[in-house]
RNA sequence: GGCCGGUUGGCAGAAUGGCUUAUGCAGAGGACUGCAAAUCCUUCUAUAUCGGUUCAAUUCCGGUACCGGCCUCCA
C-alpha cells in the first residue's frame, strides 16, 4: 500500500499519513456558509479535497473512507441577508445550498458521504456545551456561554501562536464580560425575532465553531484522521474547534492531521467577500466550461496561494481541447477499465502534487497522439482516462466537448456545407472551399481536414 | 507590531545536495496540408540578493529586499 504524505498544519511540515483505522479512514472538511452564491474560493477548496478523497478511495478502498463536509446554515450573515432581502431564513439557505450542489456537480466533485447541516445538530451542540460547563472549560456571562481559553493548555498550538502574541497585536474589540479576551462564544442569546432554539441557557443559538465539533464527533468519532478547510480558518475557527472538542472529550485528540488550502487571489490580493474582489462560480462559468476551472485549480499546488486570471482559465480550456482532441481521434477504440498509473498515484500521494500529476497527463496524451498500433492506442487511452479520473478530469464526452449541444437542424446545416466544400475540393475549386471554411469560421466553427474526411469543432 | 508562508525562463508551474532543472503556454525553425486547422519533430530563455556549511547548493542554515496570508467574518 502506497504511503501518503500530507502537509500537516499542526506539525508545520509534510508528514507520512497513517490512518487510525485503515478500514475506516475519516475526513472532515469545513464547507460553506449558505447565504450567497459560491465564489471561486468556495469552489477551490472542495475541488482540492475531492482529489484527496479520490486518492484515499484509491489507496484504502471507497468503502473504507468516510468523508464529511458540512453546511453552515445558522449564522449572522444569513440573518443579515434575511433582513436585507426579506426572504425567510429557510428560503435563503435552501436556495443557496442548491446552488452550491449545482456548482459542485458541474465541477465534478464527488459527493461526500455526509453533508450535515448545522441546524440538524443543535441538540448535539447543546450537549457539548453542557459537557464543557460540567468539566469547567466554559462559563456563563451575561446570557452568553463562553469557552474558557485559559482552561486549555494547548490553546494556540494549531495556529502556532501564544496567548501573549495574540494579545499583543489584537484588534479585537473585547466584550468586558470575557475573562480572557480570547474566550469565544459557545452559545448566545437570540431575540424573539431571531432564529434560535430552547436550551438550558434560554432561547439562543450556537457560536460558529461549535457545529464542526458536534458534527465531527457524531459522524466520525472524537478522534478522526483529517480535518480540512481553507487556511483562513486556522485561526480562530479550527483553533477553537480543537480546544472545545479536546476539552469536551478528555483524552481524545480530535483531528490527527490538519490540512489547509492556500487562498485564492485576484491580482495578488486574497479574494474575499469582505474585500468585494470576488467572482462567483456562476459568473466564471459563463466564460469557460466548469472542467477548465477545475483543471485551473489543479495547476497550482493546493498549499500555495492561487492567483486567478481569466487568461489562465482560457489556457486551461486550451489544455482540455488538446486532451479531448486526442480522445476524439481515438473514439472508436474501446475503453478498458484499468488502474491509475503508479506515477499519478505517487504524485498525488506526495501531498497532492497535482501540477506534477498533470504533467504526466500531458505525457500520456503525447504518447497517445504518437501511438501507431491499435493495441498501443487502446492501452494509452485507457491509461489516460484512468489517470484523469484521479484528478476528476476528462469526464465529458469528447464529441460534445467540441460540438456542444446542437439541435439537429444546425448540425445538418453544418454538414451540408462541409459536403459542398468536399465537392469543391474535389474539383480543386479552392476559392469556394476556402469561402465555405471562412463562412463557418465566422460562426465559430473550425474545420479540420484529414485523409479520412473533414471534422468540425466549435471554438 | 506579532506569527507564518513565498520569491525558479516572456508567462503559468513542478522537482532536485552534484549528471541534460520537468510539464504546459508563448517565441523560432521544420514535417504534414492545395492553403489551413489539428498533430508531430527540433529549438531559445530561469533558480531574488548577500553570507555560511559542504569536495559540491537553486536545494540545507542565517541575514537583506520584495510579495502574500493570519492576528476581525471568511474556503
What is the interface pTM, i.e. ipTM, of the complex?
A: 0.95
* Distance from residue A444's CA to nucleotide B35's C1', rounded to whole Å: 19
Report pLDDT for A182. 87
Question: How many other CB atoms sit within 10 Å of the CB of residue A228?
Answer: 27
In this structure, are strands A269-270 and A264-266 parallel, antiparallel, or unpaired? antiparallel
Q: Which nucleotide is nearest to A273 (CA to C1')?
A: B74
* Distance from residue A164's CA to nucleotide B51's C1', rounded to whole Å: 34
In this structure, are strands A25-29 and A223-230 parallel, antiparallel, or unpaired? parallel
Report pLDDT for A181. 85
* Distance from residue A448's CA to nucleotide B32's C1', rounded to whole Å: 13
* Distance from residue A369's CA to nucleotide B43's C1', rounded to whole Å: 21
In chain A, domain spans: 4-261, 281-401, 406-458
Question: What residue has its CA nearest to the C1' of B23?
Answer: A359
Q: Which nucleotide is nearest to A267 (CA to C1')?
A: B68
Report pLDDT for A131. 96
A68 near A219, Cβ under 8 Å? yes
A249-281 burial, b at 16+ Cβ within 10 Å, e below that, comes to: beeeebbbbbbbbbbbbbeeebbeeeeeebbbb
Report pLDDT for A173. 55
What are the E-state strand segments in A129-173?
138-141, 144-147
Report pLDDT for A408. 85
pLDDT 10s per residue in chain A (459 long)? 899 999 999 988 899 999 999 999 999 999 999 999 999 999 999 999 999 999 999 999 999 999 999 999 999 999 999 999 999 999 999 999 999 999 999 999 999 999 999 999 999 999 999 999 999 999 999 999 999 999 999 999 998 877 666 665 454 556 778 888 889 999 999 999 899 999 999 999 999 999 999 999 999 999 999 999 999 999 999 999 999 999 999 999 999 999 999 999 988 888 987 788 889 999 999 999 999 999 999 999 999 999 999 999 999 999 999 999 999 999 999 999 999 999 999 999 999 999 999 999 999 999 999 999 999 999 999 999 999 999 999 999 999 999 988 888 889 999 999 999 999 999 999 999 999 999 999 999 999 999 888 999 988
What CATH number should be reported for the domain whose range is A281-401?
1.20.120.640
Q: Which nucleotide is nearest to A161 (CA to C1')?
A: B3
- Which grid coordinates are listed for A175? 466584550
Q: Which nucleotide is nearest to A172 (CA to C1')?
A: B72
What CATH number should be reported for the domain whose range is A4-261?
3.40.50.620
* Distance from residue A230's CA to nucleotide B4's C1', rounded to whole Å: 15
* Distance from residue A369's CA to nucleotide B30's C1', rounded to whole Å: 19
A7-35 burial, b at 16+ Cβ within 10 Å, e below that, comes to: bbbbeeeeeebebeeeebbbbbbbbbbbb
Phi, psi of A14 (to 5 degrees): -75, 130
Q: Which nucleotide is nearest to A160 (CA to C1')?
A: B3
* Distance from residue A451's CA to nucleotide B5's C1', rounded to whole Å: 54
Amino acid at each position: 500500500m502506497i504511503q501518503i504524505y500530507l502537509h500537516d498544519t499542526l506539525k508545520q511540515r509534510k508528514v507520512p499519513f497513517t490512518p487510525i483505522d485503515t478500514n475506516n479512514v475519516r475526513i472532515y472538511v469545513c464547507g460553506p456558509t449558505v447565504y450567497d452564491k459560491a465564489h471561486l474560493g468556495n469552489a477551490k477548496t472542495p475541488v482540492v479535497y475531492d482529489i484527496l478523497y479520490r486518492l484515499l478511495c484509491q489507496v484504502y478502498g471507497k468503502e473504507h473512507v468516510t468523508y464529511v463536509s458540512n453546511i453552515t446554515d445558522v449564522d449572522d450573515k444569513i440573518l443579515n441577508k434575511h433582513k436585507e432581502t426579506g426572504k425567510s431564513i429557510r428560503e435563503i439557505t435552501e436556495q443557496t445550498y442548491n446552488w452550491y450542489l449545482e456548482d459542485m456537480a458541474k465541477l465534478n466533485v464527488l459527493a461526500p458521504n455526509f453533508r450535515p447541516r448545522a441546524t440538524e445538530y443543535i441538540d448535539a451542540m447543546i450537549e457539548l456545551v453542557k459537557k464543557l460547563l460540567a468539566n469547567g472549560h466554559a462559563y456563563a456571562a451575561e446570557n452568553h456561554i463562553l469557552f474558557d481559553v485559559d482552561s486549555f493548555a494547548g490553546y494556540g498550538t494549531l495556529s502556532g501562536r501564544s496567548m501573549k502574541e495574540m494579545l499583543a497585536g489584537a484588534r479585537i474589540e473585547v466584550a468586558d464580560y470575557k475573562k480572557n479576551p480570547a474566550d469565544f462564544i459557545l452559545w448566545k442569546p437570540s431575540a424573539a425575532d431571531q432564529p434560535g432554539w430552547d436550551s438550558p441557557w434560554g432561547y439562543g443559538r450556537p457560536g460558529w465553531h461549535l457545529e464542526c465539533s458536534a458534527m465531527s464527533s457524531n459522524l466520525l468519532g472524537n478522534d478522526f484522521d483529517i480535518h480540512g478547510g481553507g487556511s483562513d480558518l486556522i485561526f480562530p475557527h479550527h483553533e477553537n474547534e480543537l480546544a472545545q472538542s479536546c476539552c469536551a472529550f478528555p483524552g481524545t485528540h480530535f483531528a490527527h492531521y490538519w490540512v489547509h488550502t492556500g487562498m485564492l487571489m485576484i491580482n495578488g490580493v486574497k479574494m474575499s467577500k469582505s474585500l468585494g474582489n470576488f467572482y462567483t462560480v456562476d459568473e466564471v462559468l459563463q466564460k469557460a466550461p466548469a472542467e477548465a476551472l477545475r483543471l485551473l485549480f489543479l495547476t497550482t499546488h493546493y498549499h500555495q496561494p492561487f492567483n486567478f486570471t481569466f487568461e489562465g482559465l482560457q489556457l486551461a480550456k486550451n489544455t482540455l481541447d488538446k486532451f479531448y482532441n486526442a480522445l476524439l481521434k481515438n473514439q472508436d477504440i474501446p475503453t478498458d477499465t484499468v488502474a491509475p498509473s503508479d506515477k499519478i498515484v505517487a504524485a498525488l500521494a506526495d501531498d497532492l502534487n497535482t501540477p506534477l500529476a498533470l504533467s504526466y497527463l500531458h505525457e500520456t496524451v503525447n504518447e497517445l497522439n504518437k501511438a501507431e498500433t491499435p493495441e498501443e492506442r487502446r492501452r494509452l487511452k485507457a491509461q489516460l482516462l484512468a489517470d484523469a479520473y484521479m484528478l476528476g478530469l476528462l469526464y465529458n464526452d469528447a464529441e460534445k466537448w467540441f460540438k456542444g449541444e446542437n439541435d439537429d437542424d444546425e448540425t445538418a446545416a453544418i454538414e451540408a456545407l462541409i459536403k459542398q466544400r468536399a465537392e469543391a475540393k474535389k474539383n480543386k475549386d479552392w476559392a469556394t472551399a476556402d469561402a465555405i471554411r471562412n463562412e463557418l469560421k465566422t460562426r465559430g466553427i473550425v474545420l479540420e481536414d484529414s485523409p479520412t474526411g473533414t471534422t468540425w469543432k466549435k471554438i
